[in-house]
Chain A
Amino acid sequence: MNDSVPAGPTAPPFRLSMLIYDRRYRSLTFQVIVFILVMSLFWWLVSNTIENLSRLGKDINFGFLFNRAGYDIPQQLIPYTSDDTHLRAAVVGLLNTLLVSVLGCVAATILGVTVGVLRLSRNWLFARLMTIYVETFRNIPLLLWILIIYAILTEITPAPRAYQGEDARQLFLGLIAPTNRYTAIPAFVAERSPGMLHLGRIAIPWLAILYFACLGAAIVIRNRINARAQRIQNQTGKRPVTWWVNLALFVVPPVVIWLAFGLHLDVPELAGFNFKGGINVDNALVALWLALTLYTAAFIAEITRAGILSVSKGQTEAAYSLGLRPNRTMNLVILPQALRVIIPPLISQYLNLTKNSSLAIAVGYMDLRGTLGGTTVNQTGREMEGILLMMLVYLAISLIISGGMNLYNRRVALKER
């Protein structure tokens, strides 16, 4: 505070040049100028858009969302027919986007962490192979990977008809039929089904709710048991054996549900042109999922490797000298410190994967870009509204993901007290 403000009546009168030459006002002046610049640019964009639209005789109107869509969607997680509205078609697309994003994030994390650790392995062959994998996948554009995998799936797998007749192909393990359109996989079907929970127009099977409730409860109980084991270990130095309780928590409830409701596998069977029964997983989804996973995993592998390398070797040696076994060293010493380095860039990768899933259009996977931003926009001519909505939705998804991951990051971050 060396530029203390002179007090009261002796203060010099305000002159216009003070806006630039007086430090007290200068920063404010420039902030106001930049603010006006940005707002003018924004205003120009908006008014230009509205002006151009009105010259074309168009307005901005979201009413089209409630009109009949009229087109079909190959893969849907909630019931949808061509009689439903464009809004519902958009939701179907959104769920397809979320499906492939979640599947991709989970698989990419598992694969990426494995590859990252293996790349640090002392096994020469493994380390080199992983290097080749990482460099190949992260240096070729994702779109090409999607197209290549889709083309391979279409060209090398047989048509459903190949499973028919005398020289029929056998189903893989008697359960799975890869075809050039989709992979037919068995589904769980309950003999005594408790039905669906109807929330408006969305129906959720009670069985799924029950299963996830059991899973959630199991996780909570496991945390309690582990905390208790930790307490006992801290007091007595001996850790009670808990693994069988943990295992039972996750195995017993599903088995009970299984027996109680007579769950069985519905194996796909060829009927007419296509497989009936079970679930037909579109090749477009498989191609997109595989490509997103392989591509993003290459980046995650590098992030993991960087994280592990950031923990100095002395820590490992110190842990060994205290008598910790290698896996305990990894879990208790290296990973907690490495995660601090890993999580922030990992969030970016999750966001990238989610946004990259909009490349689905290349293989006709009907995600949000395919329904709302594709067919709906095309059939209604509401480009501006469709693209705006799509931007908003992707923004919301990204903010939710980064918000959630930031919460997790705060948990693993260095606690500074």
Chain B
Amino acid sequence: MKTSVFLGVVAASGLIAGAGLAAEGDTLATVKSRGELLCGVNPGLVGFASPDANGNWTGFDVALCKAVAAAVLGDPTKVKYVPLTGQTRFTGLASGEVDMLSRNSTWTFSRDTDLKLDFAGVNYYDGQGFMVPKSLGVSSAKELDGATICIQTGTTTELNLADYFKANNMSYQPVNIDSNAEGEQQYMAGACDAYTTDASGLAATRAAFANPDQHVILPEIISKEPLGPMVRHGDNNWGDIVRWTLYALIAAEEYGVTSANIEELSKSSENPEVQRMLGTTDDLGAMMGLDKEWAKRAIMAGGNYGEIFAATIGEQTPIGLARGLNAQWTQGGLMYAMPFR
């Protein structure tokens, strides 16, 4: 009796484990059957990902989650946002807690290979900078010898900081923090002289201050930080979906497709590339298990790349980031969508 119950339990748990594994291999099927996209985001970085007073997530990284949900599920609101810190993000993605990570993570060699994760593209080209209070009277990162610096643990910035100070033969005292919110609090309390993270993150953090003009972002950019969405290594189709959703947003800007004119263009556009992308002529979506209008819905969710940029972190917002490297390649930037063919 006892033994048979035990065997039953073993068999059942084996089945459950097997089912869990099978599902993990095919993220698209899992997301569709769940009817919801689990998207890992920053726990709070104004402009990139932050919940408002009603708990609705908005921001530059959040917009990509919405676009993917619109492409796959047909509804940009069917996203469950999972806040992940710098320490928990990769474990969260690898263990299947989220389907994709859209959380300003830097594309590096070891993360792409050793961590068994894949980058689906770059949605923001960034670099690491320093922010100091104006009252400190510092105008260059080279003057920070001996300073106390707040740093988010588990990030590439932590490694860059060590390298930069070593290369310039300077010393510093790190104050390790777990999230941007904690860093903000420590920095405002004066527990560190300078706060370092990606320049976009600094701008976003500064925008949330009571008096942003009391703080300066130093001119030195000490590293390359290409930030992009991530998926698990091995599920190539799911990686393709996230990658091409991002490219659809970027290409839409290049071809002048906006959330305002997309309905019209999908019927009347003369550009064969736009016709293919929006599913007017070819059925590209079927090649990765989606329907014809996946890209159209993704663009309608929050507009094209330029619209999302302008609405969340652009120069008209309190964060006030210029396009810079993130302009279209036709405008001298690095944003370059691969051809839809």
Contact = CB atoms under 8 A, between A and B. Distances in A.
A362 B114 CA distance: 28
Interface stretch (A68-76, A132-140, A249-257, A291-299): A68-76
A56 B232 CA distance: 8
A375 B116 contact: no
B17 to A, nearest CB: 6
A266 interface: no
B158 interface: yes
A377 to B, nearest CB: 8
Given A56-B94, A71-B158, A378-B86, A273 B175 contact: no
A403 interface: no
Contacts of A159: 190
Interface residues of B, number: 50
Contacts of B91: 383
Given A181-B192, A374-B87, A37 B6 contact: yes
B153 A181 contact: no
Given A55-B21, A74-B173, A180 B178 contact: no
Given A56-B94, A274-B146, A283 B191 contact: yes
B116 A274 contact: no
B106 to A, nearest CB: 12
A272 B146 contact: yes
A297 to B, nearest CB: 27
B222 to A, nearest CB: 14
Given A52-B21, A82-B162, A364-B175, A154 B10 contact: no
A70 B162 contact: yes
A13 interface: no
Contacts of B163: 70, 82
Nearest to B24: A55
B13 A44 contact: yes
Contacts of A375: 153-154, 158
A48 interface: yes
A400 interface: no
B159 A71 contact: yes
Contacts of A381: 90, 94, 110-111, 114-116
Nearest to A280: B173
B116 A58 contact: yes
A189 interface: no
A380 interface: yes
Contacts of A280: 173
Contacts of A72: 158, 161-162, 172, 174
A37 B173 CA distance: 52
Contacts of A73: 174
A156 B178 CA distance: 22
B147 interface: yes
Contacts of A276: 146
A192 to B, nearest CB: 28
A180 B90 contact: no
B147 A57 contact: no
Interface string B168-198: 0000111111100000011001111100000
A56 B116 contact: yes
B333 interface: no
Contacts of B114: 380-381
B166 interface: yes
Contacts of A380: 110, 114
Contacts of B185: 154
Interface residues of A, number: 43
B341 interface: no
Contacts of B147: 272-274
B145 interface: yes
A82 B90 CA distance: 22
Given A57-B233, A70-B163, A74-B173, A273 B115 contact: no
Nearest to A156: B189
B162 A181 contact: no
Contacts of A60: none
B162 A57 contact: no
A33 B86 CA distance: 46
B10 to A, nearest CB: 6
B206 to A, nearest CB: 19
A185 B208 CA distance: 36
Nearest to A382: B114
**From A51, A155, A375, residue with most partner B Cβ within 10 Å:** A375
A395 interface: no
A74 B174 contact: yes
B271 interface: no
B113 to A, nearest CB: 10
Interface string A263-288: 00000000111101000100100000
10 contacts: A55-B25, A70-B163, A71-B159, A74-B173, A154-B186, A362-B178, A374-B153, A378-B90, A379-B154, A381-B111
Given A56-B94, A56-B232, A71-B158, 19 more contacts: A57-B116, A58-B116, A70-B159, A72-B172, A73-B174, A74-B174, A82-B159, A154-B189, A155-B189, A181-B175, A181-B191, A273-B148, A274-B148, A366-B176, A375-B153, A375-B154, A380-B110, A381-B114, A383-B91
Interface of A: 33, 37, 40, 44, 48, 51-52, 55-58, 70-74, 81-83, 154-155, 159, 180-181, 271-274, 276, 280, 283, 361-362, 364, 366, 370, 374-375, 378-381, 383
